[in-house]
């Protein structure tokens, strides 16, 4: 059972309870759709462009139906009738709705559409594009070296996509394996996606399809030059979670931060809205073979890392089950955790290592995302460098998968190129010096590390049992995670949640689920 001698029965009980919790939420998800899911369907039908006010046409069409008709029937109900009657493409219909030439309300009282087949070629075209992106990624991964040590993940956040590209290339040349483009402050709260290449973000760069394309192109060129595949990350969280996941899939992003709990807790997005959005996003990510990153690391920025470590583990168990309900294999579940214990705490490194080793042993097949110290970074760059070095040692020793590099200037400013270079030098040195260290050591049966891991697992099991009884909505209201309370009818985006009508249709979701099930069964033969 690994070096920590964790009780497999307790782990199994945690997964059992987490599965019940996730299925309770899934019962809500299955009954609802959202405006952002419906906009995603329009994007997958090939609707593109903006109006004269720079409002995306997908918003124009969905808002049109939402305000004038009954969106509970689903956007496919209206588009299938309109495409058939007018012998037009979905994109042409969208332009006619924008101009006022078509009013989709005329289809509101009609029965379940018999013309769904008219939409399927457009959905199939998008899925074919995603299939092409998967093939390109697999080809890259097959012909470039595999790493036995964590993938080094660094951020760029200039606000200007062209400057981001310059910083990303400099990081790649210093050894970065993953580039994450931080979004502009507040984009998660926008209920639309900006259009085109952007140069004026705040604390980050807007997530747009064109920005995705530009960075992917640049990283492909860098991958050829370096002889290794560089992965690209962005954020599919917030009010446009499903749409950003859609754009990421067609532009070959490799990882996307995708966690409804993060959006609920830290961005005050309505839980009913974001659970539904997350499900569609994860099915799509599973289909596109995009690794998701969950946000448990953020819990310890507001909660004490010693007292509340078990909440991180409990959330990881729940996120794992949410992902499985979306037909996602474990190889795509980038569960999050972090190195956030107060460095003044005695034996803090042993406690950090216990948490990292425990997470690795419980989720052996998941590409774990390990976050560096942030909460207790003070602006002392010399101490910060040491804190990051200890984090790097814990990461390599416990065989983490995705290692987000800490910056010595955390808590001072957005990192300079030189800060990132120093962080990569630090990580590269420790990667070589500690490469097989974790394989050489064992832990004392009655030692601090093993006792701590057992304690956290036991507390997580008790918490999951409590959440199972209360339900997820009540748990979030109690402020169980990160000490932040949210109400099921509060937060942003609730207005965009709709109960599905009896004739509701989401054919591309059904198609992706069907193909994922076939793939899963084939892999088990």
Q: Is the pTM of this model over 0.75?
A: yes
150-452 maps to which CATH number? 3.20.20.440
pLDDT surpasses 70 at 1: no
Residues 183-200: pLDDT tens digits? 999 999 999 999 999 999
Q: What pLDDT score was predicted for residue 73?
A: 98
Per-residue model confidence (pLDDT) at position 333: 98
Q: What percent of the chain has pLDDT over 70?
A: 100
Residue 41 confidence (pLDDT) above 80: yes
Residues 6 or more apart from 405 whose CB is under 8 A from it?
152, 153, 154, 176, 372, 388, 392, 420, 423, 424, 426, 427
Distance CA 377, CA 392 (A): 15
For residue 46, is pLDDT > 70?
yes
Active site residue 297: yes
- Bridge-based pairing of strands 497-499 and 402-404 is unpaired
Is-contact 208 183, C-beta < 8 A? no
Is 299 among the catalytic positions?
no
- CB proximity list for 70: less than 8 A, separation 6 or greater: 108, 501
The string of pLDDT tens digits covering residues 241-275 is 999 999 999 999 999 999 999 999 999 999 999 99
- Among positive and negative, which fits the CA dihedral 60, 64, 66, 67? positive
What is the pLDDT, as a whole number, of residue 525?
74
Would the pLDDT of 462 be above 90? yes
Confidence category of residue 66, pLDDT binned at 50, 70, 90: very high
Q: Catalytic one among 17, 369, 370, 492?
A: 369
Domain ranges of the chain: 46-118, 150-452
85-90 long-range contacts (CB < 8 A, ≥24 apart) are 89/46, 89/122, 90/42, 90/45, 90/46, 90/47, 90/119, 90/122
Q: Give me the chain's average pLDDT, please.
A: 97
The pLDDT tens digits for 4-30 are 999 999 999 999 999 999 999 999 999
Catalytic residue among 177, 297, 299, 339: 297
The DSSP secondary structure of 166-215, one letter per residue, reads: HHHHHHHHTT-SEEEEPPPTTGGG-SS---S-----SSS----HHHHHHH
pLDDT in tens, 308-347: 999 999 999 999 999 999 999 999 999 999 999 999 999 9
Q: Which is catalytic among the residues 192, 262, 299, 351?
A: 262
pLDDT tens digits along 464-514: 999 999 999 999 999 999 999 999 999 999 999 999 999 999 999 999 999
Q: What is the pLDDT of residue 280?
A: 98
Percent of the chain with pLDDT over 90: 97
Q: Over 90: is that where the pLDDT of 413 sits?
A: no
C-alpha distances in Å from residue 220, one per residue of 20, 212, 214, 446, 449: 42, 12, 10, 49, 42
């Amino acid at each position: 059972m690994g070096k920590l001698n964790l009780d497999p029965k307790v782990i199994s009980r945690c997964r059992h309870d987490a599965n019940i919790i996730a299925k309770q939420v899934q019962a809500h998800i299955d009954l609802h759709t959202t405006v952002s899911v419906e906009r995603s369907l329009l994007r997958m039908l090939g609707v593109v462009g903006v109006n004269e006010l720079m409002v995306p046409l997908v918003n124009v069409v969905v808002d049109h139906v939402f305000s004038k008709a009954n969106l509970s029937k689903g956007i496919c109900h209206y588009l299938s009738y309109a495409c058939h009657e007018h012998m037009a493409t979905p994109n042409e219909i969208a332009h006619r709705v924008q101009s006022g030439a078509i009013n989709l309300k005329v289809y509101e009282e009609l029965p379940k559409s018999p013309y769904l087949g008219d939409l399927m070629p457009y959905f199939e075209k998008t899925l074919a594009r995603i299939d092409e992106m998967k093939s390109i990624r697999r080809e890259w991964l097959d012909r470039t070296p595999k790493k036995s040590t964590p993938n080094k993940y660094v951020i760029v956040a200039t606000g200007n996509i062209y400057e981001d590209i310059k910083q990303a290339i400099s990081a790649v040349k210093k050894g970065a394996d993953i580039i994450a483009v931080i979004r502009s402050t507040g984009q998660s709260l926008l209920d639309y996606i900006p259009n085109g290449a952007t140069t004026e973000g705040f604390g980050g760069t807007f997530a747009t399809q064109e920005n995705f394309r530009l960075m992917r192109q640049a990283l492909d060129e860098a991958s050829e030059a370096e002889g290794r595949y560089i992965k690209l990350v962005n954020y599919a969280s917030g009010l446009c979670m499903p749409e950003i996941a859609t754009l990421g899939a067609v532009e070959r992003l490799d990882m996307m931060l995708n966690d409804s709990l993060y959006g609920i807790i830290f961005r005050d997005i309505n839980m009913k809205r974001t659970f539904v959005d997350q499900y569609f996003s994860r099915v799509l990510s599973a289909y596109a073979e995009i690794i998701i990153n969950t946000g448990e690391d953020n819990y310890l920025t507001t909660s004490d890392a010693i007292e509340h470590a078990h909440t991180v583990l409990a959330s990881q168990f729940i996120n794992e089950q949410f992902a499985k309900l979306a037909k996602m294999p474990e190889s795509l579940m980038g569960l999050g955790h972090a190195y956030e214990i107060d460095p003044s705490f005695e034996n803090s490194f042993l406690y950090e290592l216990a948490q990292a080793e425990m997470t690795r042993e419980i989720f052996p097949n998941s590409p774990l995302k390990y976050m560096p110290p942030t909460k207790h970074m003070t602006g002392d760059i010399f101490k910060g460098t040491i804190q990051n070095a200890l984090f790097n040692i814990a990461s390599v020793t416990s065989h983490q998968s995705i290692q987000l590099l800490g910056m010595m200037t955390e808590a001072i400013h957005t990192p300079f190129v030189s800060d990132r270079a120093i962080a990569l030098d630090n990580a590269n040195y420790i990667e070589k010096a500690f490469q097989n260290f974790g394989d050489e050591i064992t832990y004392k049966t009655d030692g601090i590390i093993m006792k701590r891991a057992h304690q956290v697992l036991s507390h997580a099991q008790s918490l999951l049992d409590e959440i199972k009884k209360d339900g997820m909505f009540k748990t979030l209201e109690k402020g169980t995670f990160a000490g932040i309370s949210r109400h099921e009818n509060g937060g942003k985006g609730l207005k965009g949640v709709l109960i599905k009508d009896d004739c509701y249709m989401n054919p591309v979701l059904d198609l992706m689920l069907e193909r994922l099930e076939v793939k899963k069964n084939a892999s088990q033969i």
